Chains A and B, each alone.
Chain A
Amino acid sequence: MEQRLQSVSRRDALKLLGAAGGGLAIAKWFGADTAVAQDLQTIKTMEPFTGPGPNPHWNSIGPYISEPEKAPLILLTDRPVQLETPRSYFRTPFTPNDAFYVRWHLPEIPNRVDLAEWKLKIEGNVNKPMALSLSELMEKFKPVSLAAVNQCSGNSRSRFQPRVPGGQWGNGAMGNAMWTGVRLRELLDTAGVKAGSVEVQFQGLETGPGPKGLGSNVFLKSLKLTDSVLDEAVVAYLMNGEPLPMLNGFPVRLVVPGYFATYWMKCLTWIRVLSAPDDNFWMKTGYRVPDKPRGNTTPEEVKAGGIKTVPITRMPVRSFLVSPDGHSKVPAGMNVTLRGIAFSGYGRIVKVETSEDGSKTWREAELGEDLGAYSFRTWEAKWTTKTPGNYTVEVRATDEKGNVQPDEGVWNPGGYLWNRIEKQDIVVGKAS
């Protein structure tokens, strides 16, 4: 869609002036050859789809839409609701609740929760099953707070080559919040996990019209009781010091620091201790990655079959340039500040580097405040834009375990674990 913008041409202006004798002065005022210094840009909306090549944009391409308790976000799907956070919200280490991305699996998600009735149940293979109201959760257990990144397993899926079906996220299926709630371990200890238990299963208020026993009926996720992440997991009733938006899991959601969001059960209502491994669809079939370095495979290997898969767990190290975002030209010689965020599911970010010469040289960026091992960490770097032309700014992060972002993509049929070095084209224009 284009909008033609009208302007008065130089010829019209001359006519209007009606004075050929003023030619010299006019040339000085209007420029020698052109009526305007630069053509105005027309407003264009995004293309309706991207592919079969990779999505070239930072975010996905859907329209902005307005959902309850939310700022305008980018629509992927409306039923169930999937919304992406626009890039500019990542300038700060904490993502505002109203801008936090949304991803549900099944269409029946709550518009209403009655806290007079609602209880969090801890059941299954425990000594003392419990049903706790929100008041009891808030008052009977010690509140703890931690900053942690929640990222969809399929964040950046639209970068995959060849493309894979699924939510075609750009980079905005992630967010960081200060989560406050009760330690999962304290709840499990209070209920008393019986000997012979192997996993703990989480269920929220999300259901679908599918037949009982299938993945289309209920969304369930489980973690092994031997997984040390259970010691860090929190049942959160506060998100950035506010109640959770309904679309982000009101009244409580599970926080699993360092792990992909698939385990962060929204509207958490059942914590179920299991004496046998969970073989429901969302563990046995969904959210699995090849048991290979980076979860990387090829379409040919998948076709040949026999690839061993494991449930997805921790998030590989990533970093992003948030601004400048390439939507505006930068004047040559200007000292601009490159700003962004970095995080890793394997621990603290210890280094962020930028390159403006095609990965030949890397400069270390200045890191922002350390808000915890699983938080976004902001970074910034000065960049003097030099001569006019087209530039590409690259950014890569290193975490405390020594994991560095690679310059190679990843491929697996689920579209998971993308963490390639991000690159942003920036046009530098003449400043004189």
Chain B
Amino acid sequence: MRKNLSALVLAAGLMLAATGTAVFAQFQSGSYGSKKENSIDQTAPAQMSSDGNFAVANFPSFAPELAEGEGRAETESFCAMCHSTRYITMQPPLPAATWEAEVNKMTKTFGAPIPDATAKKIVAYLQAHYTAENRKQ
């Protein structure tokens, strides 16, 4: 009787293994997920000649998706004149006054040619989507 039972359990184990998912108290194996978006393509070797030119490929761009709302288009076009809008999404949620100071720094200290009315709109946009009270993405 005991022998028969062992044989039965062994058979069941083989059947489970055949389904690709073995379940035991001791371990679990054979479960796979699909996460294609986590992959990074390898870069192909560059073409080179023996002259004095030392060149690398273009540096890639990764524009983030900014929060939807009034002022997004102005923010995307004016801020991106000098830098990626990742400078916005990289920040932690910042107080409204800090966002205003940041935009002022860009226009006054760094000379960004942003019309006053547009700068105000950009400040309002950042304050509406990137503070501790309202940031979602």
Question: What are the residues of chain A within 8 A of B92 when measuring CB–CB?
Answer: 49-52, 55, 158, 163, 168
CB distance from B3 to the nearest CB of A (A): 11
Closest CB-CB distance, A63 to chain B, in whole Å?
8
Let me know if A49 and B89 touch, CB within 8 A. Answer: yes
Closest-CB distance, B33 to chain A (whole angstroms) = 4
The answer to whether B54 touches A115 (Cβ under 8 A) is yes
The answer to whether A3 and B82 touch (CB under 8 A), given A51-B132, A81-B59, A112-B55, is no
Instruction: Please indicate the chain A residues that have their CB under 8 angstroms from the CB of B89 in the complex.
Output: 48-49
Complex Cα gap A40–B28 (Å): 8
Interface residues of B in 22-47 (CB under 8 A from A): 23-28, 31-35, 38, 40-43, 46
Which residues A10-42 have CB closer than 8 A to chain B?
10, 13, 16-17, 19, 21-22, 25-26, 29-31, 34-38, 40, 42
B59 contacts A67, C-beta separation under 8 Å? yes
In the bound complex, residues from chain A placing their C-beta under 8 Å from that of B109 are: 214-216, 281, 285
Minimum Cβ distance to chain B for residue A164 (Å): 8
What does DSSP make chain B's interface, helix, strand, loop or mixed?
A: loop
A30 to B16, CA, bound (A): 12
A43 near B23 (CB under 8 angstroms)?
A: no
Interface residue A226 (Cβ < 8 Å from any Cβ of B): no
Chain A residue nearest to B34 in the complex (CB): A3
B33 and A5: CB pair below 8 A? yes
Contact B52 A114 (CB under 8 A): yes
B117 at the interface (CB under 8 A from A): no
Instruction: Give the Cβ gap from A66 to chain B, nearest Cβ, in Å.
Output: 5
Contact B90 A30 (CB under 8 A): no
Q: Please, how many angstroms separate the alpha-carbon atoms of A331 and B21 in the complex?
A: 26
B94: chain A residues within 8 A (beta carbon): 163, 165
- Give the CA-CA distance A196 to B16 in the complex, in Å: 86
Per-residue A-contact encoding for B61-100, CB less than 8 Å = 1, 0 else: 1110000000000000000011110110111111000100
Q: Looking at the assembled complex, report how far the CB atom of B44 sits from the nearest CB atom of chain A, in whole angstroms.
A: 11
A99 CB to nearest chain B CB (Å): 14
**What's the tally of chain B residues with a CB closer than 8 Å to chain A?**
61
Asked if residues B15 and A16 are in contact (CB atoms below 8 Å), the reply is: yes
Please tell me which one of the listed residues A78, A165, A210, A246 contacts residue B82 in the complex, with CB atoms under 8 A apart: A210
CB-CB under 8 A for A250 and B51, given A36-B28, A79-B83: no
* Known contacts A16-B16, A158-B92; A80/B83 CB under 8 A: yes
Neighbouring A residues of B40 by C-beta, 8 Å = 64-66, 72
Measured CB to CB, the closest approach of chain A to B108, in angstroms, equals 10
Chain A 145-186 near chain B by CB (<8 Å), digits 1 or 0: 000000000000010000101011000000000000000000
> Are B111 and A62 in contact, with the CB atoms below 8 A?
no
Q: Are B56 and A29 in contact (CB-based, < 8 A)? A: no
Q: Give residues 243-296 of A contacting B (CB, 8 Å).
A: 243, 246-247, 250-251, 281, 285
Output the residue of B15, B33, B82, B90 with the most chain A CB within 10 A.
B90
18 further A-B pairs in the complex, CB-CB below 8 A; given A65-B62, A78-B86: A7-B21, A22-B9, A25-B5, A25-B9, A37-B25, A43-B35, A49-B93, A49-B135, A55-B92, A67-B59, A68-B46, A77-B84, A112-B53, A168-B91, A208-B82, A210-B111, A214-B109, A243-B54
